[in-house]
Amino acid sequence: LNFTVHILRRINITEEGSRMGIIQYAENPQLEITLNQYSHSNQMEWAIQRIKYLSGATNTGAALKFALERGFQNARGGSIPKVAVVVTDGQSQDSVAESAQQLRDAHVMVYAVGVTNLVNVHQLHQIAGNPARVLTVESFDDLSKTLADSLTWDMCKTEFRPGTPDIICGPDRIGVRASTKNPFDGYVFIMDHFHKKECRAGPEEFPDARSIGITIPFTECNIHRYRSLSPRGIFVEMTVVFMFHALFMTKVDQMVKVQCFYMEADKSVSVPMEVSMITTQFRETMYEMPLCQYTLRRGSQNGPVVEYAQLGENVYHRWECHDQTDTFGMLVHSCYVDNGFGDRVDILDSRGCGVDAVLLMTPEYDETLRLATKPYHVFKYADRPITLCLKLDAGCIGLTPPNCPKLEHNHIHNHDHAHEQNEIRRARSALEFNTLDVFTPQLHIVENLPQCSNPTIQFPSFYVVITVTSIILNILLSTLISVPFLRSRKNGNV
């Protein structure tokens, strides 16, 4: 039924347009929707979704006879084409050849679509009567929109549509030529260039209204040319539209992609003259990439690196690149805070501008364009990419410092927490080879820093003991030195 809806959406179901009916069959056929029951596609789609499947044996022959007697009843005659599409997933238990021939004798064009490998392919050919109108798929899932497009396109062909076009590959131009059974009153033009007179051809340019086409020089109408290395040569291509109405494009129009390949010929040539080789000189300039880092400083932009910080404490964000040759400038951009679970809040955008004044405003750059700082309070951090630019030939002008609009303080709720931003950042990192990712050293953030007491106040007795012990040792040492000295004096006097 889904495949039936796909076909329905590709047919113009109106009061004056096409009509569509549905017959479901198993052992016996059942008329679900008649040809004149609905004149609007939305109404019919609603009815199709409410059809219940039948089960039982497969009698396709009886269903074909039922379609001829009841299905096409009250169908409009004349030149209006009648088409029957038979979709079956099994082998018919009755004969299909006679019923199918009766349908074709009544000028009904029959298509046979077999689903799964259980179908009888010979029966499908008997049903359709033409191998070109036999289709097979592996499962019902393969009854796709693409198959519906192909089937609808084939069944809705008219005598006005051109047959298989002829491609014209000239030495300096490319074109297409086709024939129709009836006179062609529309235009043949290069896609997207209808309003250029040299890119379209109308009935007045055709020598015969049944022989239509157009030829365009390589240099006109934005003809696409590109070189091929294997095989060596040049491709020239364009897309041609056959528009059957003089003013409007309709669903019966046809587009053809025309492609010509001009292969490069390998030829050996010689000339009686001597040619000296020109000395090839190579000039190469190597630029050493600077060393970039991102740190948090306490007190000022040149203060000590912060290792422990209190949440909300004012610190200085410092991005810097060391370049001895004064060749590069830098731009700090695409900064965000990530909680480690996939949720993120942008801080600086891809242009290097602050996103939210409550979290962090645009950094301030010095005149070298290799140092950017911004004082602000402590919060969670993630990667901080830096983009480098060559200062030669004004390569950094317009890039850094960034020209950012003034931020309001009420933007905190405007952050994008979508996970797909990770894909955008990965794509940018893969393409921009001059973008570096820098990280801060590990930083420990606490709610409140602990206050440590002075140890000299808590343990005064320890220092008293040390002082008394030092005095006693000095007295003992003096006594030990004095006694030997006195004994020596006595021995001298004797």
- What is the 3-class SS of 63-105, one letter each residue? HHHHHHHHHCCCCCCCCCCEEEEEEECCCCCCCCHHHHHHHHH
Q: Model-level pTM?
A: 0.36
Q: Are 323 and 468 in contact (CB under 8 A)?
A: no
What pLDDT score was predicted for residue 390?
A: 63
| Number of neighbours of residue 236 by Cβ within 10 angstroms | 20
pLDDT number for residue 447: 56
Do 108 and 13 share a structural domain? yes
CB 65 within 8 A of CB 27: no
Last residue of a domain, one of 427, 446, 465: 446
Q: What is the CATH number of the domain that holds 366?
A: 2.60.40.4100
One domain, residues 377 and 426: yes
Which contacts of 446-454 are long-range, i.e. CB under 8 A and separated by 24 or more positions?
446/308, 446/309, 446/310, 446/311, 447/310, 447/311, 448/310, 449/308, 449/310
- Of 164, 262, 165, whose CA–CA distance to 215 is shortest? 165
Q: Which amino acid is at 274?
A: E
Residues 248 and 308 in one domain: no
Among 155, 183, 200, residue at a domain's last position: 155
Instruction: Please list the alpha-helical segments (H only) found in 156-201.
Output: none
pLDDT the model gives residue 391: 67
Q: Which helix (H) or strand (E) holds 421?
A: helix 421-431
Report the number of distinct structural domains present in the chain.
3
Instruction: Determine the Cα–Cα distance for residues 120 and 95; give it in Å rounded to an integer.
Output: 12
Q: Which of 134, 155, 176 is the last residue of a domain?
A: 155
Q: How far is CA 412 from CA 357, 359, 395, 407, 430, in A?
A: 8, 8, 34, 11, 30
The predicted pLDDT at position 410 comes to: 45
For the stretch 280-314, pLDDT in tens is 666 666 667 788 888 888 888 888 988 777 767 88
Task: Give the range of the structural domain holding residue 186, as residue numbers without chain letter.
Answer: 166-263
The edge-to-edge listing of strands for the beta sheet with 108-115 is 82-88, 108-115, 134-137
Q: Is 148 helix (H, G, I), strand (E, B) or coil?
A: helix
Could you read off the pLDDT of 453-485 as tens digits, one per residue? 444 444 444 444 444 444 455 554 444 444 444
Q: Tell me: do 328 and 231 sit in the same domain.
A: no
What span, in angstroms and rounded, lies between the C-alpha atoms of 114 and 123?
A: 10
pLDDT at 63: 92
pLDDT at res. 280:
62
For 251-273, letters b (16+ CB in 10 Å) and e give ebebebebebeeeeeeeeeeeee
Average pLDDT value for the chain = 75
pLDDT under 50: residue ranges of the chain: 158-160, 381-384, 410-421, 423-431, 453-471, 476-494
Phi, psi of 33 (to 5 degrees): -140, 130
Same-domain pairing of 353 and 411:
yes
User: How many degrees, rounded to 5, is the angle at CA 137 between CA 135 and CA 140?
Assistant: 120
In a domain, 277, yes or no: no
